[in-house]
Amino acid sequence: MGSRCTTPPSTEALCGPLWSAPQWRWQAQRCDMPVLPWPDPAHASSVPLLRLLVVGSRCFSVNGAQLGPAWHAAAWRLVCAVNCRVLGLYLAGDESTGWRFAQADAQCELRPGGDAAVHALAAAMDMPVAPTEPGRAALPRPGPGLQPTAACL
């Protein structure tokens, strides 16, 4: 499909893997991420999640705390392992060990990333980013929680 294909089709879906939480956790654990155990009744849906957006080689924390380089390197390994250039990661807080991988989504929402995510996606696809035309609304600005980091290499 060429270099502009961000995520090749899989056997489950046209936009990459459509896996269950245990499948994602198994793959994340192989990429050296601490993961939530399964099943995990202690981490119910009421636990706040940190959302990471991986676009190309850039990692963004969309809604909260910034993670260190080890997390970004592990996110990059996961993206490479599942052959996705765009991936949403969801981490659950754990008081004793920090953040743990909970789930991923190959069909994630890019809008929270704003202009930074658009530029990262264009770079990943080897495409130029057109400047905003006069009279046309600019892309939404990222919220205060979005902090792009250096490349995840």
In degrees rounded to 5, what are phi and psi of residue 82?
-100, 5
Please tell me the distance from the alpha carbon of residue 80 to that of residue 5, in angstroms, as a whole number. Answer: 14
pLDDT (tens place) for every residue of the chain, 153 residues total? 455 555 666 666 556 778 888 899 999 999 999 998 876 555 555 566 888 888 877 888 888 778 888 888 999 899 888 888 788 999 988 766 688 999 998 888 877 777 887 788 777 777 777 665 554 445 444 444 444 443 333
Q: What pLDDT does residue 12 have?
A: 64
Calculate the alpha carbon distances from 22 to 36, 48, 78, 124 in Å: 9, 19, 15, 28
Per the structure block, which two tokens stand in for 132?
């905003």
Calculate the alpha carbon distances from 143 to 48, 113, 135 in Å: 18, 8, 23
Q: What pLDDT does residue 39 have?
A: 61
Q: What pLDDT does residue 27 have?
A: 93
- Assess whether the previous peptide bond of 39 is cis (omega < 30° from 0): yes
Q: What pLDDT does residue 148 have?
A: 42
Domains of the chain by residue range = 21-36+46-127+138-148
Please tell me the distance from the alpha carbon of residue 81 to that of residue 72, in angstroms, as a whole number. Answer: 14
Please tell me the distance from the alpha carbon of residue 85 to that of residue 102, in angstroms, as a whole number. Answer: 19
Q: What pLDDT does residue 142 have?
A: 44
Q: What pLDDT does residue 149 have?
A: 41
Per the structure block, which two tokens stand in for 74?
């592990």
Residues comprising the chain, all counted: 153
Q: What pLDDT does residue 59 have?
A: 85
Q: Whole-model pTM? A: 0.71
CATH tag for 21-36+46-127+138-148 (out of 3.40.50, 2.60.290, 3.30.470, 3.90.1520)? 3.30.470
